[in-house]
């Protein structure tokens, strides 16, 4: 089954914020690849991000946070960014803020 891949405006802005065009293209390719078996890619998240999944991209540094909706056969990318443990700009911290604001 092929899923329709969507990207939220916030995630699109985050993707556009990646300075290196080559890296941006590789991340976009990973997002497009979620159309096939998205639940076998990435890993499920817990806690505040329960219901979302995380996919590593571009040398394990970047993460794509996404939601799978089996009823609508869609995958929605909600956040894209660098994994920086303990940093305020960490993609997981940003995703938590998006969830709290109802944007994810």
Instruction: Specify the 3-state DSSP secondary structure of 81.
Output: strand
**What are the residues whose beta carbons fall under 8 Å from the beta carbon of 19, sequence distance 6 or more?**
none
pTM: 0.91
If we measure between CA atoms, which residue out of 34, 13, 35, 16 comes closest to residue 25?
Answer: 16
Q: Which two tokens stand for residue 40?
A: 């076998």
How far, in Å, CA of 78 to CA of 92, rounded?
11
User: Does domain 4-101 fall into CATH 3.30.2310.20?
Assistant: yes
**Per-residue pLDDT tens digits of the chain, which is 104 residues long:** 899 999 999 999 999 999 999 999 999 999 999 999 999 999 999 999 999 999 999 877 899 999 999 999 999 999 999 988 777 778 999 999 999 888 77
């Amino acid at each position: 089954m092929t899923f329709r891949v969507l990207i939220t405006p916030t995630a699109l802005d985050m993707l556009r914020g990646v300075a290196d065009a080559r890296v941006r293209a590789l991340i976009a390719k990973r997002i497009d690849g979620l159309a096939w078996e998205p639940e076998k890619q990435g890993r499920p998240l817990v806690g505040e991000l329960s219901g979302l999944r995380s996919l590593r991209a571009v040398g394990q540094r970047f993460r794509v946070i996404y939601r799978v909706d089996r009823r609508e056969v869609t995958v929605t990318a909600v956040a894209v960014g660098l994994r920086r443990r303990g940093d305020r700009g960490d993609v997981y911290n940003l995703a938590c803020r998006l969830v709290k604001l109802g944007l994810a």
